[in-house]
Each structure stands twice: as structure tokens, then as C-alpha cells.
Amino acid sequence: MTGEIDRLPPLHSGVAAVVMIGLLTLLAGMYAGLAAPFGVLSMFAAVVTMLRGWRRTAFWSGGLLFLGGIVAGIQNAPTVVVLLVVSGAVVAWDLIDNSVSLGEQLGREASTGRAEIVHVGGSAVLGLGVSLAGFALYSVAGGGMPLSALVFLLLSAVALTSVLRN
């Protein structure tokens, strides 16, 4: 006898994303108080995504944290903090979106732990690598360039990722 498959997202990636969003919210909030509400709303959207499996709230989770990073940059947070929050937003969105995809394809009860852990590790390493490369470029070529130029560069990278993903 087969039962109906629960198509909600598995929890491993979602928990990792919520924890990462929480840490990045604390980091941004230490330097820019106005960035913290965006992080809190991002965490709320991530939790809703994990409970309901809605892809749109996954997008909002990453987008709100990204906006929090931009607000932190506007409030003169250190460049490293802005880069970590902005790239962390993309990684969090990717983790939650992957979890929703796994839920749609396999269901919550499927044994996806190993695949999710590999995806979390790969996304985190890639996000950290992009942040470090962005900071290195900013440090070498910055020379008085405003931080907004770096934020727009990262925004264009997110747009490119979105276009390539579709």
C-alpha cells in the first residue's frame, strides 16, 4: 500500500539557510541597525518556505537579505560585511530553492541528507570564494571607488545567475 508523498521541502538545507541568515543578520545589524529588519523578514520568509514549500517566498528570503546587505553598505558597514551579507543572500536563496526542488521531486520523507549536505558545502564554498574575489578586486582596483559600484557589480552577478538558471 502506497501513501501520498509529502511534497514539502526536506529540512537540512532550509535549516542551514535559516542559521546562515540569522548569523548574517547579526553581523549586518552590528554595523547597520537598519539592515537587521531585512534579515529578520528574510528569516521569516525562509521558515515559511520550509513549512509551505512556496518558491516565491524562497526568492523573497534571498532578496530581503540582499536588500539588507545594500542597506548595510549605504550605512557605511565594512566592505567585508557587505560582501558576506550580499553573497550569503544568494547562497541562502540557492539552498532554499534547492530544498523546494527536492521536495517537489522526491518529497520530505526521502533520504536526501547527503545530497543536501554536499550542496550546502559547495554553495558555501562558492559564495565565500566569490566574496573573497570581490574583496580582492575591490582592494586592488578600489582606489577611491564608492562601495555602491561594488554593490552594483554584485547585483549584476545575481541577475546573470538568475538568467542562466532559467
- What band does 112 get if pLDDT is binned at 50, 70 and 90? confident
Lowest mean pLDDT among 78-82, 122-126, 133-137: 133-137
Q: Is residue 98 part of a domain?
A: yes
Q: Is residue 3 part of a domain?
A: no
- What band does 29 get if pLDDT is binned at 50, 70 and 90? very high
Q: Is residue 161 part of a domain?
A: yes
Q: What is the pLDDT of residue 144?
A: 60
Q: What is the pLDDT of residue 108?
A: 75
Task: State which residues form the domain around 103.
Answer: 11-165
Q: Is residue 4 part of a domain?
A: no
Q: What is the pLDDT averaged over residues 113-127? A: 85
Q: Is residue 157 part of a domain?
A: yes
Q: Is residue 37 part of a domain?
A: yes
Q: What is the pLDDT of residue 30?
A: 94
Which residue in 88, 106, 12, 87 sits closest to 50, CA to CA?
A: 12
To 10 degrees, what angle do helices 55-74 and 147-165 make? Answer: 170
- What band does 61 get if pLDDT is binned at 50, 70 and 90? very high
Domain count, the chain: 1
Q: Is residue 53 part of a domain?
A: yes
